[in-house]
Amino acid sequence: MTNAPEHDLPVALITGASRGLGAAIAEALAPTHHVVAVAKTVGALEELDDRIRKKGGSATLAPMDITVEAAMQQLCRSIYDRWGGIALWVHTAVHAGPLAPASMLAEKDLDKSIATNLRATARLIANVAPLLGQTGRAVFFDDPRAGETYFGHYGTTKGAQIALARSWQAETRRTGPQVAILSPNPMPTATRGRFFPGESRDGLADIHAEAARLLPEILGRG
């Protein structure tokens, strides 16, 4: 992890923080939280760090691939050693496999979708849960594409991810941590652009406005 100044703010871990909704949420949280930003793209993380610093916030950058189990274990161990735990985990990392008929799904794309959207999420839950303890909060984002035409790669694995999150939510309802599953409005993200090329973006929600709208629910104040 790239070091950041010490602080007295609660820690928010954001997986998938380099762009899109994850980056916008990181910026929205920066005034009240120290952000641990996880993503594969170093340059995009550094740009996020610049924007957070301009707003007077602080971030720790973790340029890592969430599908690498050893890296995620090391990340969570480093967070524990440095801060003892976190107040919030926001999971936005996702792989958008290409649209294809169910009878023609490429195995390599399906494997990557399963590895990122489901298997990595399951491992992260196991590793992050102890950092959240009983009082922390985990947030996931639904995208109900399961069963839609040509969404075999993404819809199947994203749906499985949310099913896993709902199981964790039910299991921890009385004991904590709190688990929230939110439903963002459609936004002009790179992921949506791959699914709907040529779509007019006029009716899509601004990413930063959407992060601001979701923020009370992310923090459990909605």
pLDDT digits (tens, 9 = 90+) for 37-60: 999 999 999 999 999 999 899 999
What average pLDDT does this structure show over 133-144?
96
Domain residues for the domain of 68 are 11-218
pLDDT beyond 60 at 12: yes
**Token couple for 165:** 């999150």
Taking the C-alpha atoms of residue 61 and residue 57, their distance in angstroms, rounded to an integer, is 13
> Is residue 1 included in any domain, yes or no?
no
Lowest mean pLDDT among 73-77, 184-188, 217-221: 184-188
Q: 151: which strand partners? A: 100
In a domain, 63, yes or no: yes
pLDDT at position 156, please? 95
Domain CATH code at residue 51? 3.40.50.720
Half-sphere exposure of 156 (CA within 13 A, CB side): 19
**What is the structure's pLDDT at 178?**
98
**Is residue 156 included in any domain, yes or no?**
yes
| Domain assignment of residue 5, yes or no | no
> Is residue 192 very low, low, confident or very high in pLDDT (cuts 50, 70, 90)?
confident
Q: Phi and psi dihedrals of 98, rounded to 5?
A: -65, 150
| One-letter amino acid for residue 96 of the chain | A
pLDDT at 74 over 90: yes
Q: Is residue 64 part of a domain?
A: yes
Task: Using pLDDT thresholds of 50, 70 and 90, give the confidence band for residue 31.
Answer: very high
Lowest mean pLDDT among 5-9, 23-27, 65-69: 5-9
6 found inside a domain: no
Cα 213 to Cα 209: distance, rounded to the nearest angstrom = 6
Confidence of residue 7 (pLDDT cuts 50, 70, 90): low
Q: Are 211 and 24 in contact (CB under 8 A)?
A: yes
Structure confidence at residue 4 (pLDDT): 59
Q: Which is nearest to 133 in space by CA: 81, 85, 76? A: 85
Model pTM greater than 0.85?
Answer: yes
| Rounded mean pLDDT, 93-122 | 95
Question: Is residue 144 in a domain?
Answer: yes
52: left (phi over 0), alpha (psi -120 to 50) or beta: alpha
Is the pLDDT at 6 greater than 60, yes or no?
Answer: no
Is 172:156 a contact under the CB 8 Å cutoff? Answer: no
The tally of domains found in the chain comes to 1
Residue 55 class from Cβ within 10 Å (0-12 exposed, 13-18 middle, 19+ buried)? exposed
| In the predicted structure, residue 69 carries a pLDDT above the cut 60 | yes
Domain contains 92: yes
